[in-house]
């Protein structure tokens, strides 16, 4: 592996290699306990997908796997090396998958029959079946989120949302939620666009 990809040797030291291969072996073993890859042919793996919504929001990413059944149904599969989320975080996990489904709807004019998340650490599978109207609503949600980001970009009013992850944050001293003062706002990369959106939001 190092001979074919010299850069890979810099990522894993010789001391860590045995442990790394052991962990990878466990994940692969778990995968084979969940699926038999000889029973289907993936149409494509590591697929780069991209589209632009009507309001200019660009969606792009890499889909781990796309399966197409003989009858034409499409399944989008994503692998996770972590454990399956708890119930209240499932919607966050599916948010990413809906991204992919929306891109396929806009680029291929199809609604995936199934979105599938495979969690290799816990040996769990999460599946979801989207529908056309739901993806259209999701598109409007993404557009609204982007408008809100641009509006905040015009003023620098990005409000903190304290949570459990704050315990691992290195910037508490600069966060208003912890009595800190943020540094001066450097401005939005394309402030003109942000100002236009902010003006529309305030009318």
Q: How many C-beta neighbours within 10 Å does residue 77 have?
A: 22
| E strand spans, the chain | 42-52, 58-68, 74-80, 114-119, 124-128
Cβ–Cβ under 8 Å, residues 1 and 8: yes
User: Mean pLDDT across the stretch 2-6?
Assistant: 61
**Residue 200 within a domain:** no
**Residue 113 within a domain:** yes
Q: How many C-beta neighbours within 10 Å does residue 62 have?
A: 11
**Residue 139 within a domain:** yes
User: N- to C-terminal Cα distance for the chain?
Assistant: 59
Domain count, the chain: 1
Q: What are the tens digits of pLDDT across the range 137-151? A: 999 999 999 888 888
Q: What are the tens digits of pLDDT across the range 157-187? A: 888 999 988 999 999 999 999 999 999 998 8
Question: Which string of b and e fits 134-149 if b means at least 16 CB within 10 Å?
Answer: ebeebbeebeeebbee
Which has more confidence, 28 or 5?
A: 28
Which has more confidence, 108 or 87?
A: 108
Q: What count of residues does the chain have?
A: 203
Q: Which two tokens stand for residue 172?
A: 């508490």
CA 85 to chain centre: 14
> Residue 125 sits in which domain range?
35-155
**Residue 61 within a domain:** yes
Q: Which two tokens stand for residue 77?
A: 């599969």
Q: Which two tokens stand for residue 88?
A: 């209240």
**Residue 26 within a domain:** no
CATH of the domain at 51: 3.90.320.10
Whether the pLDDT of residue 75 is over 80: the answer is yes
Mean pLDDT of the chain: 85
**Residue 178 within a domain:** no
**Residue 198 within a domain:** no
**Residue 42 within a domain:** yes
Which has more confidence, 165 or 195?
A: 165
């Amino acid at each position: 592996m190092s001979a074919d990809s010299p850069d890979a040797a810099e990522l894993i030291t010789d001391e860590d290699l045995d442990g790394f291969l052991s962990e990878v072996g466990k994940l692969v073993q778990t995968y084979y306990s969940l699926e038999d890859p000889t029973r289907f042919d993936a149409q494509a793996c590591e697929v780069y997908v991209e589209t632009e919504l009507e309001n200019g929001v660009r969606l792009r990413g890499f889909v781990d796997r796309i399966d197409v059944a003989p009858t034409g149904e499409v399944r989008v599969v994503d692998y996770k090396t972590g454990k399956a989320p708890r119930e209240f975080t499932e919607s966050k996990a599916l948010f990413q998958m809906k991204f992919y489904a929306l891109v396929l709807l806009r680029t291929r004019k199809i609604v995936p029959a199934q979105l599938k998340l495979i969690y290799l650490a816990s040996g769990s599978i999460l599946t979801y079946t989207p529908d056309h109207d739901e993806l259209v609503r999701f598109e409007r949600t993404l557009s609204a989120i982007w408008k809100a980001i641009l509006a905040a970009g015009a003023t620098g009013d990005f409000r903190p949302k304290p949570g459990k992850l704050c315990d691992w944050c290195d910037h508490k001293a600069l966060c208003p939620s912890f009595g800190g003062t943020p540094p001066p706002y450097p401005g939005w990369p394309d402030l003109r666009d942000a100002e236009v959106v902010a003006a529309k939001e305030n009318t």
